[in-house]
Structure 1
Amino acid sequence: MRTYNWAILGLGNIAHKFAESLALLPNARLHAVASRDAVKAQEFAARFGVPHAVGSYDELLTVPDIDAVYIATPHTEHYAHTLLCLRAGLPVLCEKPFAVNAQQAQQMRQIAEAKGIFLMEAFWTRFFPAIHKALELVAAGTIGEIKHLAADFGFVAPYVPEGRLFNPALAGGSLLDIGVYPLFISKLFLGEPQEIRAIATRAGTGVDVNCTMALAYEGGATASLFSTLAAQTDNQCILYGSHGQLHLTGRFHAASGITLKLPNQEPQHIPCEKQGYGYQYEAEHVQQCLAQGLTQSPLLPLQFTQELMHQLDAVRKQIGLRYPME
C-alpha cells in the first residue's frame, strides 16, 4: 500500500485536528507544514513529528515529494493559496467555504481543470459513514419522498470585532463559517433549489450573527436552515419523508449515527463509525481519487461546490452582506 505525503498550509486550530486525524490513516503521512511564522511551523512539526517545516507558503512549494496539500487558512485566503499550489502542480484539498464567492470558486476550478490537477473542497461532512448510510436509506425509499429538511448550526461566539468570526475583512459572519453546513446538507439530499429566501440580523461590524434560510425545490420539498453565532443550537438535521423521519444523530455535520422514525414503530437507532474528529475520512477519499488518477471527486465534484458557492452568494445578496474585498 502506497503512503501519501500530505502538507498543511496554515496552522490554526483546524490544522491540528486534521493532523491528529491523518495519524489514523495507515497509508498517510504528514510530510510538511507551512506557516507565515517559522517558529509556529517548527513547533507544530515537533508536536506531530513532521520532517519539513517552513516559514512561508511560497517555501512550501520547494519541499519535495508532496502528494497533496490541505489548505487551512482563513476564508479570504483560500483562493490565493489554492491557486499558489495548483500552479505548482500540487493537488489541493481546500477547507470550506471553498472561496469567498462563486467567482473565485470558478477561477479555482478553471485552473485545476486546465492543468489536470486534483482539487476538492474539504467538506468533511460528505465522507462520514453516517452520511453514506443516510443517503443509502433515502435512495432505498426508507422514509418515502423527502418533503422537508430542517438543519441548524449555532454556538455562542464572544463578540470580538477584529476577530475572524466578526470581521468583514476576513469574510466573517455565521453564514460562511457555519451556515454553509445546513446549506450543504440540504443540497446533498434535495439538490438545487428553485427558490431561496433569507433574512439575517447583524453584528456591529455588519456581518450576520443570525441567518435564516428557506428553500423550495422543484419536486415540492422545502428546507428550513439556520445559523447563529449568538446561541447554542442542537446542531441537528431532520429529514421529513412521506413515510417517516430520518435524524442524523450527534452534531449532524459530524454525525455518529442515524435514528429512523417510521409509522407505528419504535425509533430505530443505527450507530455508524466515527473515529476521532473524522477528518481522516475526507483525506482517505482524496488518496483514493489520487490512486485512480482522478482530478475531481465523484462524491464531491467541483460542480457541486460551484453551485453551493452560488447559493451562498444568493443568500448574501438577500441579506445585503458584501465583503470589502469584493
Structure 2
Amino acid sequence: MARTEDPRTAPPIRWGILGAGGIAAVFASAVNAHTRAQLVAVGSRNRDRAERFATAHGIPTVHVGYRGLVEDERVDAVYVATPHSEHKEHALLAIAAGKHVLVEKAFTRNAAEAEEIFAAARAAGVFVMEAMWTRFLPHVDALHQVIDAGEIGEIINVSADHGQYMAFDPKSRLYDPNLAGGALLDLGVYPVSFAHDFLGVPDSIQAVGQLTPTGVDGQISIALTYGERTQATLMTTLWAKSPTTAEISGTEGRISVAGDFYGTTSFRVQRLDGRVWTFEKPGTKGLQFEAAEVARRVALGEVESPRMTWENTLEVMRTMDTVRAQVGVVYPGE
C-alpha cells in the first residue's frame, strides 16, 4: 500500500524562508531532518528574530526584510510563512524575482488574491503551490487507495473537525482581522481541503458561525452537499480543543482517521461484512513531504503539482469565501 516516496529521494533544492515564525520553524526542521534540500537564507523584518531562526536551523544567510531574500541568487524556492494577509504580496514579490514559491495555507485571504498569484506564476513560468501538506502524507495516499478499491463502497459522508483552544487576545494574529485571523483560514482550511480532496467541489454550502469581539470567526460549522445523497459535515473553532479526527462513511463500511487527521496518523477500516484492519501511523512529522513535492516538480520543469493543483486551491478558496460571506467575516481591504 505504501506508495509515498521517501522525501530523501527528492532532488536537492535551495530554500529561502520568508518569515521566521512558528510554522516556518516546523518546516525548517522537517527539511533539515528528512530531505536533501538546503536552507540557505531566511528573511524577517526583525533582525533578532531572523538571526535566532538562522542559528536554530543552521541557515547561513540572514536578510532583514524580504526583497533581499527573494533576490538572493542562492535561493531556488521561497517558502512564504507570513500571516494570511501578507501571502499575496510576498508570493508576488518572490515570483517577480523568478523564484518558485510554496505558500502556507490558507493560500490567501480569498480566491481573487489566489488568482492573481497564479496568473503571475503562469506569466513567469515558475512553480507555485499551496502548502497543504496533508495531501502528500502517507496515510492520505493510503486512504485514496482504500476508497478507490471500493472497500467502503460509495462515500455518503465525510466529517472532520479542527478546533484548538486559543485564549482571546485582540493583538494575536488569530484574532486580528488586519492579519486575516479567525478559525476558518487557520484551522478550518484543513477539514475543508480534506473534504475537497475526497469529494471535490460541493453543490451547496451552508455555514453557521459566531464571531469574536474583534470581528473574525471564532467558530463555524459547515454542511456541504454533493449529488443526491453525499454530504460533508465540518467544524472549526478557536474556543476548544476538538478531537481533530475525521470519518469517511460509505455504503459498505467506514474509515476512522485518528487525530490529528491532517498530520501523519493512522486510520481504521471497518466494513459491514465484519472485516476490520488498520493503517499504522508513520513515525515522522509531515512537512518534508510537501517540500519534496516542490523539489520534484521543479526538477521536472513543472509549474504546479497534480496533487495540489492551482484549480484545487481556487476551489477550496471559493468554498471558504462562501462560508465567510455566510457568517459575516470581511477583512479590511477586501
TM-score class, shorter: over 0.9
- Cα distance between partner residues in 1 of 2:58 and 2:233: 44
Query: Do residues 283 (structure 1) and 305 (structure 2) align?
Result: no
- Cα distance between partner residues in 2 of 1:107 and 1:55: 26
8 Å contact from structure 2 (residues 12, 295) kept in 1: no
> TM-score, normalised on structure 1?
0.97
- Cα distance between partner residues in 2 of 1:111 and 1:233: 38
1:61 to 41, 55, 70: 70
- Cα distance between partner residues in 1 of 2:314 and 2:119: 11
1:223 to 208, 226, 232: 232
Which residue is equivalent to 1:293? 301
- Cα distance between partner residues in 2 of 1:45 and 1:53: 7
Query: Do residues 268 (structure 1) and 261 (structure 2) align?
Result: no
Q: 1:6 to 1:219 in 2, by over 3 A?
A: farther
8 Å contact from structure 2 (residues 192, 234) kept in 1: yes
Which residue is equivalent to 2:91? 82
CA RMSD of aligned residues (A): 1.2
The CA deviation at 1:13 is 0.5
8 Å contact from structure 2 (residues 14, 37) kept in 1: yes
Output aligned runs, 1:73-222, within 5 Å: 73-218=82-227, 220-222=229-231
- Residue 219 of structure 2 aligns to a residue whose secondary structure is strand
1:245 to 254, 269, 278: 254
Of residues 36-45 and 9-18 in structure 1, the stretch that sits farther from structure 2 once superposed is 36-45
- Residue 7 of structure 1 aligns to a residue whose secondary structure is strand
Query: Do residues 35 (structure 1) and 44 (structure 2) align?
Result: yes
After TM superposition, what 4+ stretches of structure 1 lie above 4 angstroms from structure 2?
none
Which residue is equivalent to 2:324? 316
The CA deviation at 1:174 is 0.7
8 Å contact from structure 2 (residues 15, 38) kept in 1: yes
Question: How many residues of Structure 1 are paired with residues of Structure 2 in the alignment?
Answer: 325
- Residue 135 of structure 1 aligns to a residue whose secondary structure is helix
Which residue is equivalent to 1:13? 22
Which residue is equivalent to 2:314? 306
What runs of 5+ residues in structure 2 fail to find an aligned partner? 1-8
- Cα distance between partner residues in 2 of 1:168 and 1:65: 35
- Residue 167 of structure 2 aligns to a residue whose secondary structure is coil
- Cα distance between partner residues in 2 of 1:274 and 1:283: 18
- Residue 92 of structure 1 aligns to a residue whose secondary structure is strand
Measured against aligned partners, the alpha-carbon deviations of 1:227-258 in whole angstroms (never above 9, x if no partner) come to 01111110011000000001222310104122
- Cα distance between partner residues in 2 of 1:250 and 1:211: 19
The CA deviation at 1:101 is 0.7
Which amino acid in the other structure matches residue 175 of structure 2? F
8 Å contact from structure 1 (residues 52, 63) kept in 2: no
Query: Do residues 25 (structure 1) and 34 (structure 2) align?
Result: yes
The CA deviation at 1:274 is 4.3
8 Å contact from structure 1 (residues 39, 55) kept in 2: no
The CA deviation at 1:59 is 1.1
- Cα distance between partner residues in 2 of 1:44 and 1:255: 25
8 Å contact from structure 1 (residues 67, 90) kept in 2: yes
Identity of aligned residues (%): 38
The CA deviation at 1:24 is 2.3
Measured against aligned partners, the alpha-carbon deviations of 1:249-287 in whole angstroms (never above 9, x if no partner) come to 2310104122101124253111142413x1101001111
Measured against aligned partners, the alpha-carbon deviations of 1:17-51 in whole angstroms (never above 9, x if no partner) come to 11110012342111111000122212211121111
1:232 to 223, 238, 241: 241
- Cα distance between partner residues in 2 of 1:136 and 1:77: 37
Which amino acid in the other structure matches residue 204 of structure 1? P
- Residue 143 of structure 1 aligns to a residue whose secondary structure is coil
Which amino acid in the other structure matches residue 103 of structure 2? C
